[in-house]
Amino acid sequence: LIAARDGADYVDMVYLERAIDRTLGGLERKSKPLNLFEKTVVAHHEAGHAVAGWFLRSADPLLKVTIVPRSGGALGFAQYLPKEQFIYTQEAILDTMCVALGGRAAEQLVFGHLSTGAADDLQKGARMGYSQVMTYGMSSGIGHVSFPTESEGNSIDKPYSEETARLIDA
């Protein structure tokens, strides 16, 4: 569609990449451009994801980083080439969590502050952490057990004690 709108005679890799970006991140948001400070923070944030992924053995390989704001709410994003696998080790999950939080760490290291730009990264990291403990039994403190998620069970009656709940949240 993008190639047709541009009046192109054929679809080349540039059009395919633009279509992928649009599908993953939404439309380019041109109506509200970022100011220089925001661009700088977003650039360092996305670079933090990339650097973290580069040094972690189990992280997915990085394909592309962009700081173009999108209609989906992202001010930028890193795109990875996920590995074709169905089983993940605890190390792989921890590496994925580190990559997700690498942007926030970069902001803290470079600017000495945190921003609201990492909200989605924090949610992803928290979901992975809870899954490690609640679903996959990867907690030495709780043991090799799996608890139903709220969508699987009754959210009023938890199948564990208050002490176990404190360990899960720790």
Q: Which amino acid is at 97?
A: M
Phi, psi angle pair for 63, to nearest 5°: -100, -45
Active site residue 91: no
Residue from 81, 83, 92, 86 nearest 57 by CA = 92
User: Contact at 8 Å (CB) between 119 and 101?
Assistant: no
Residue 6 contacts by C-beta under 8 Å, 6 or more apart in sequence?
15
DSSP state of 33: P
Residues in CB range of 4: below 8 A, 6 or more apart: none
Q: Which of 46, 91, 107, 163 is catalytic?
A: 46
Show which residues are catalytic.
46
